Amino acid sequence: MRLSALFGLSMLLLLVPAARAVCPMPLPRLALSVAGHTLSAELAATPAAQQCGLSLRDSLPADTGMLFVFPHPVTIAFWMKDTRMPLSIAFIDDQGRILALADMAAGDTRTQHRPSLPYRYALETNLGWFARHQIQPGDTVLFDLSDAR
């Protein structure tokens, strides 16, 4: 009896798909100041939200983005799997200083983007947003995570 119950349970587990994040997912928003320019960002602070990122979206409204928040400095690479729109990304340290900027092509699953130093935050925007606002490494991003709504 125990063996057949165990077999039945294992067969049931094979038929149930693994839990996956449903992308895109609703996320809290946060106002940021990037070198004096205002941006509204979705807050990706959980592993599920970070896994989804901006994937499976066709567009991003002007002056919006997504802020990835990590619990400590990381060296994780970003890539564009399932991302349908080109993006720019800023890698930001604990003090809010931009360490590096990169442009990322839609659907590019080969290129990995990461700065040479560990970072605490990453901010994705529409392609060219940082360039249009003349934002450079060394500029500051100001925000208060407790303001997320």
Question: 94: domain range?
Answer: 21-147
pTM, two decimals, is 0.85
64 three-class SS: strand
Query: Within a domain: residue 16?
Result: no
Query: Within a domain: residue 54?
Result: yes
Residue 1: pLDDT band with limits 50, 70, 90: very low
Query: Within a domain: residue 2?
Result: no
pLDDT at 17 over 60: no
Query: Within a domain: residue 14?
Result: no
User: Contact at 8 Å (CB) between 65 and 27?
Assistant: no
Q: What phi, psi does 14 have (nearest 5°)? A: -70, -30
Q: State the CATH number of the domain containing residue 44.
A: 2.60.120.1140
Among left, alpha and beta (phi > 0; psi -120 to 50; other), residue 113 is beta
Q: Considering its fold, how many domains does the chain have in total?
A: 1
